Amino acid sequence: MAVWAVGDIQGCYDSLRKLLKKIKFKPKEDTLWLVGDLVNRGDKSLEVLEYLYSIDKSTKIVLGNHDISLIASYYGIKRSNPTIEPILKSKKAKKLINWLRHKPFVVWDKKLNCIMSHAGISPQFDLKMAIKYASTIEKRLQSSNAKSWLSSMFKRSPNFFNKNLSELDRERYILSSFTRMRFCDNSGKLDFYQKGKPTNSKMDKGLKPWFKCPNRRSIKQKIIFGHWSTLGYFYNGEVLCLDSGCLWGRELTGVRLDTKKVKAVQVKCGKS
């Protein structure tokens, strides 16, 4: 029984199936961890959701920003686009969206000593805080009031977490940190808008990857994330980024989690 983690798929169904074939993934025996951003921009987002729904018991999935945008489009909060329109027009739309919004923002496995979230774990959160705050917004998204709550989340998010924030601002920060962060400053304030790779010029401006924040709270578990295609596949013994830019014609990456050696398995990608 193998446990594999796979990077951002973003509608690249053919690439996903090619990778699963390469790693000899067996749904009845193995487990697949997915870092989120299952849909959007790629040509076969509907096929991705339908397939993952069909093997649901064999997966551990966290929600990414593009998955949240899909749910928001279903509710009429955000505009649709041609790559997610087939999902919204599908007869299975209600079932698939309901299945998706019941997915978590954080997955933690004590035995594997791994924690997974789409964009990573805020420098201000330790393991207990991450699990607690993820649960807070999971309950919101899974509730009968999900549409109203999600609509309120698309306002500007605070870049720092503290107890003086309003309830909605705290939840905006929690959602944004789990799905959108990349950079922060030395104090841990997040920058939700920088999208490029880490460079000396960004360092000169005081920006560094969230996992290099000098005041980051200690998390002993390996942190698995995606969301950062310009960073690409990255592993430093503590954090593992699996977004290797499949959508942009680079690779889709998988890593086995239940072995001591961390080795990437990749397939070349396109948009389908």
pLDDT 10s digits, 251-265: 999 999 999 899 899
H-helix segments, the chain:
13-22, 45-54, 65-74, 85-89, 93-101, 127-142, 146-153, 167-179, 200-204
Q: Is the dihedral of CA 216, 173, 145, 77 positive or negative?
A: negative
Number of structural domains (the chain) is: 1
pLDDT tens-digit readout, 118-164: 999 999 999 999 999 999 999 999 999 999 999 999 999 999 999 89
DSSP codes of every residue in 105-168: S-EEETTTTEEE-SS---TT--HHHHHHHHHHHHHHHHSTTHHHHHHHHTSPPPSS--TTS-HH
* pTM reported for the whole predicted model: 0.96
The gap from C-alpha 118 to its chain's centroid, in whole angstroms, comes to 2
Q: 232 falls in which pLDDT band (50, 70, 90)?
A: very high
Residue 79 lies in domain: 3-268
C-alpha to C-alpha distance for 71 and 80, rounded to whole angstroms? 10
Task: Over range 165-176, report the average pLDDT.
Answer: 97
Give the amino acid at 248: W
Residue 271 pLDDT exceeds 80? no
Q: List phi, psi (to 5°) of 91.
A: -65, -15
For the CA atoms of 219, 220, 221, 225, the dihedral, rounded to the nearest 10 degrees, stands at 40
Q: Are 83 and 38 in contact (CB under 8 A)?
A: no
For the chain, give the longest Cα–Cα distance. 51
Residues 6 or more apart whose Cβ sits within 8 Å of residue 104: 61, 62, 63, 134, 138
Q: Which CATH number do you get for residue 175?
A: 3.60.21.10
